[in-house]
């Protein structure tokens, strides 16, 4: 019953938000945006362009373009500043928006770390060759044209057995430069980079991440190449190298267009269409399952390894030797006082800088360290709740230290600690939703990628919330079974019930 109420509450909230949008006043010039919010993508140069070309407007930061479209249509901002090809794609797929004016010219290139100057020059030469033989123009016509059937992912990525593997970091919510289609990377930049690697003899692998993480991934050698419509600026040149320009365009302002707003279908028809676009088209339900598998892997491995580490930290914390207890106290204070997303980025971009390590083990390590800090204090409080007189009595009766721990301390401490431990487990499960910051495609990230394709928020977000709810309740139920099995009062009630049943029979 509680789960049903949860589902109905979320459905009602999302429907009210979707139906309660107020129409924005028609904007005819950029001067009208003075004092109003304009959506700019986090990590981009759009906020600088906004201050330069639309003075008086206030930046409203969104993590990607699908979020920006939702912000505009819900009235959270009055315009979007974005690349012209992206704007045309948004108008075609979303509707109800129009280009107000062109703000500034822009040009895009691929980024490399300064240690990869030779690789940058190789790619620049390959791009110049693509321009010379017309391949780049053909790719541009395909991805910026109207024929959707031609916009397909590469049939296969180059393997590069001779020269090694290139890891390319991108934001796959940046159509038409980079997107996910049928569970694979696709887009203008994807085709260009794949063709360059094919001609140069390199293998290729894509790592999806937030746009704001692309440049840090390149600078810290997590990726050899970064892309997704990255503008060439002098400020960025101080940190990275740019390849030959791959596209020259400009930035534009997008605003609401009530006249072009598509007719809204009925409630039932709209839900059916949203369901199909979220799960059925391109078999996007498989993306949900893949993301769910990654989330479960990270959560379970983190909890199991974190529990073992928590026992060790708890033992050190309770030690009478200051040399052992003090480091444990510092560790607990440091991990409990640092947000988990910051811990993950420190591990990914600093501790493992320059190492080509899969981000999933790094996420497991980060969450295990965080979980151990909280659970160590939980275990310590459970042990502290035991009357010291019981230990003294056991010693007087001749029990060994191991017998005292396993027969007296551990059962009672576990019973005291499990309720709080259960909360730590559920909190860790929910916290895994931030692993997208280090290029992991978990359940939440897959939901974002689906929204970047459909521009529909209802079913992706609701499905993600319901899956987390089900997993949290399942974990709570499993730990609850453990609580009942070790609780002597509950066990006594069960035994009395069985004894009475045998008597009545």
The predicted pLDDT at position 10 comes to: 53
Nearest residue to 228 (alpha-carbon basis) of 154, 168, 174, 167: 174
The predicted pLDDT at position 204 comes to: 93
Q: How many CA atoms lie within 13 A of 336 on its CB side?
A: 15
370, 428 in Cβ contact below 8 A? Answer: yes
CA distances from residue 464 to 286, 287, 365, 498 in whole angstroms, order as listed: 14, 12, 24, 42
Q: How many CA atoms lie within 13 A of 315 on its CB side?
A: 8
Residue 75 CA to residue 22 CA, distance in Å, equals: 7
Residue 76 CA to residue 70 CA, distance in Å, equals: 8
Fold for domain 111-245? D-Maltodextrin-Binding Protein; domain 2 (3.40.190)
- The pLDDT profile of the chain, 505 residues, written as one tens digit per residue, is 555 555 556 555 544 444 444 444 578 888 889 999 999 988 888 888 899 888 899 999 988 888 888 888 888 899 999 888 888 888 887 778 889 988 888 899 999 999 999 999 999 999 999 999 999 999 999 998 888 888 999 988 988 777 889 999 998 888 889 998 888 899 999 999 999 999 999 999 999 888 888 999 999 888 999 998 888 988 899 999 999 999 988 899 999 887 666 666 677 887 888 888 888 887 888 999 999 999 999 999 999 999 999 999 998 998 889 899 999 999 999 999 999 999 999 999 888 887 778 899 999 999 999 999 999 999 888 888 787 777 778 778 877 777 777 777 777 778 888 889 999 999 999 999 999 888 888 999 899 888 877 878 888 989 999 999 999 999 999 988 887 877 666 555 444 544 554 554 4
369, 343 in Cβ contact below 8 A? Answer: yes
Tell me which CATH code domain 285-502 carries.
Answer: 1.10.3720.10
Residue 121 CA to residue 31 CA, distance in Å, equals: 42
The answer to whether the 2-104 and 111-245 domains have the same CATH topology is yes
Strands 184-186, 178-181: pairing kind: antiparallel
Three-state secondary structure call for residue 248: strand
- Which pair of structure tokens corresponds to residue 433? 């939703």
Residue 99 CA to residue 81 CA, distance in Å, equals: 10
Backbone angles phi, psi at 399, to 5 degrees: -70, 140
Domain boundaries, the chain: 2-104, 111-245, 285-502
- Write the Ramachandran bin of 282: left for phi over 0, alpha for psi from -120 to 50, otherwise beta: left
The predicted pLDDT at position 288 comes to: 92
Strands 173-174, 58-62: pairing kind: unpaired
The model scores a pTM over 0.75? yes
The predicted pLDDT at position 389 comes to: 79
CATH of 2-104, one of 3.65.10.10, 3.40.190.10, 3.40.1350.10, 1.10.8.60: 3.40.190.10
């Amino acid at each position: 019953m509680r789960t049903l109420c949860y589902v109905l509450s979320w459905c009602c909230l999302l429907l009210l938000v979707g139906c309660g949008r107020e129409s924005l006043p028609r904007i005819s010039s950029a001067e009208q945006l003075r004092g109003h919010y304009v959506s700019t993508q986090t990590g981009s140069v759009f906020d600088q362009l906004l201050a330069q070309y639309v003075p008086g407007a206030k930046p409203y930061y969104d993590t990607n373009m699908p979020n920006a479209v939702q912000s505009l249509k819900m009235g959270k901002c009055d315009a979007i500043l974005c690349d012209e090809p992206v704007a045309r794609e948004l108008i075609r797929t979303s509707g109800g928006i129009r280009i107000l004016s062109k703000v500034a010219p822009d040009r895009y290139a691929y980024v490399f770390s300064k240690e990869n100057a030779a690789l940058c020059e190789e790619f620049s030469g390959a791009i110049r060759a693509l321009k010379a033989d017309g391949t780049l123009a053909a790719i541009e016509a395909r991805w910026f044209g109207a024929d959707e059937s031609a916009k397909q992912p590469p049939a296969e990525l180059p393997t590069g057995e001779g020269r090694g593997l290139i890891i390319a970091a991108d934001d796959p919510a940046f159509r038409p430069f980079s997107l996910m289609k049928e569970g694979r990377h696709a887009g203008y930049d994807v085709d260009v980079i794949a063709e360059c690697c094919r001609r140069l003899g390199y293998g290729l692998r894509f790592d999806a991440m937030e746009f704001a993480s692309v440049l840090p991934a390149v600078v810290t050698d997590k990726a050899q190449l970064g892309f997704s419509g990255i503008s060439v600026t002098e400020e960025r040149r101080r940190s990275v190298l740019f390849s030959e320009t791959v596209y020259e365009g400009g930035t534009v302002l997008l605003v609401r267009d009530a006249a072009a707003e598509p007719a809204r279908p009925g409630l039932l028809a709209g839900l059916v269409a949203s369901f199909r676009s979220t799960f059925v088209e391109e078999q996007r339900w498989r993306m949900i399952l893949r993301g769910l598998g990654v989330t479960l892997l990270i959560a379970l491995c983190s909890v199991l390894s974190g529990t073992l580490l928590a026992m060790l930290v708890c033992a050190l914390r309770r030690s009478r030797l200051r040399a052992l207890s003090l480091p444990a106290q510092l560790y607990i204070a440091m991990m409990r006082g640092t947000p988990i997303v910051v811990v993950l980025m420190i591990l990914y971009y600093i501790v493992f800088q320059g190492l080509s390590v899969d981000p999933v083990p790094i996420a497991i390590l980060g969450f295990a360290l965080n979980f151990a800090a909280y659970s160590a204090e939980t275990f310590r409080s459970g042990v502290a709740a035991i009357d010291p007189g019981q230990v003294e009595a056991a010693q007087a009766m001749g029990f060994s230290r191991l017998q005292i721990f396993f027969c007296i301390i551990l059962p009672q401490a576990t019973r005291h600690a499990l309720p709080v431990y259960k909360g730590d487990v559920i909190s860790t499960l929910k916290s895994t939703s931030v692993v997208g910051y280090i290029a992991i495609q978990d359940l939440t990230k897959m939901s974002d990628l689906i929204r970047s394709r459909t521009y529909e928020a209802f079913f992706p977000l609701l499905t993600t919330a319901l899956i987390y709810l089900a997993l949290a309740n399942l974990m709570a139920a499993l730990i609850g079974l453990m609580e009942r099995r070790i609780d002597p009062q509950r066990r006594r009630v069960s035994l009395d019930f069985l004894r009475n049943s045998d008597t009545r029979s």
